[in-house]
Amino acid sequence: MAQVKLLGFWASPFARRVAWALKLKGVDYEYIEEEDIFNKSSQLIELNPVHKKVPVFVHGQKVIAESFVILQDCLKTWKQCPLMPQDPHERAMIRFWTKFAEEKKILHAAWNAMCSRGEEKEKAAKLTVDVIEKIEGELKGKQFFGGESIGYLDIALGWMSYWLPVWEEVGSMKIVDPLQFPALTSWIKNFLEHPVIKDNLPPRDRMIIYFLNRTKVLLGLTGDFGLDDHWLYMSNMRHQEKGTCEPVELQINW
């Protein structure tokens, strides 16, 4: 069996898609962490010269980039735990919803909602909610998108179970209202309770700090955040949004 390697980054929802698929399929692989995604290793540049992004998948002589392209290759290479239904119409539906989520750029909209302010934030949050409304319909009465077990669409949208709540917290916003989206809310619970998924998630606290710092950089603020600063930052944001006080000076504490 040719050697399988996955080049990823701990906080990347795209790299995690591939890791989940490989784990579900029981494929042994070597994980290589890209230490600094903004100061790319020569290995990443060499393996993915077009986009210079993770994930990159290496299988013997084959090198593949782009999470969905990698997933497709995994489906064809390893038949165990198929992730796609047998029925052609059901397969088409999975492709339809994957394409829908990609074309609507829901992940990017949620990301933008986290790291923007004012009107731009509102627009991005609304776009995310509008797409979720459609996805909610597809989940009604199901444990997973794949029915009784995790499938391709669950993996494709898996970031919504764990990254989205972190982005909601960091961006001080509510996107997945359990009353508005009961099916998605219970899917999140089911997905995160799955043993393979549960054991393959980045630490939440580290994510909060990481995405707070990313947000801060993108908003043009300076200094690094520690977790203690998070709460100060949140209340600061809320006050600023309500226009109730001047910005509080942020402490650098780590």
Question: Which of residues 4, 6, 7, 12 is near ligand GSH by CB under 6 A?
Answer: 12
Residue nearest to ligand GSH (CB): 53
DSSP 145: T
* Cα distance between residue 205 and residue 202, in whole Å: 9
Total Cβ atoms within 10 A of residue 103 = 9
* Cα distance between residue 154 and residue 8, in whole Å: 20
Does position 166 bind ligand GSH by CB under 6 A?
Answer: no
Does position 201 bind ligand GSH by CB under 6 A?
Answer: no
Does position 146 bind ligand GSH by CB under 6 A?
Answer: no
- Closest distance to ligand GSH from the beta carbon of 9 (Å): 5
State how far Cα 29 lies from the chain centre.
21
Does position 14 bind ligand GSH by CB under 6 A?
Answer: yes
Strand partners, 64: 57
- Interaction pattern, residues 32-71, with ligand GSH; x per rule: CB under 6 A: -----x--------------xxxx----------xxx---
> What residue type is 41 in one-letter code?
S
Does position 162 bind ligand GSH by CB under 6 A?
Answer: no
* Cα distance between residue 254 and residue 247, in whole Å: 21
Does position 191 bind ligand GSH by CB under 6 A?
Answer: no
- Closest distance to ligand GSH from the beta carbon of 31 (Å): 15
- Closest distance to ligand GSH from the beta carbon of 69 (Å): 8
Segments in the chain forming alpha helices (H): 13-25, 42-47, 67-77, 88-103, 106-114, 118-139, 152-156, 159-170, 182-193, 195-198, 204-218, 227-242
Which span sits near ligand GSH by CB under 6 A: 6-14, 22-30, 132-140, 146-154? 6-14
Phi, psi of 150 (to 5 degrees): -65, 135
Question: Which of residues 7, 9, 22, 146 is near ligand GSH by CB under 6 A?
Answer: 9
Does position 158 bind ligand GSH by CB under 6 A?
Answer: no
The closest of 53, 81, 78 to 152, measured between CA atoms, is 81
Does position 78 bind ligand GSH by CB under 6 A?
Answer: no
- Closest distance to ligand GSH from the beta carbon of 214 (Å): 10
The residue ranges that bind ligand GSH (CB under 6 A) are: 9, 12, 14, 37, 52-55, 66-68
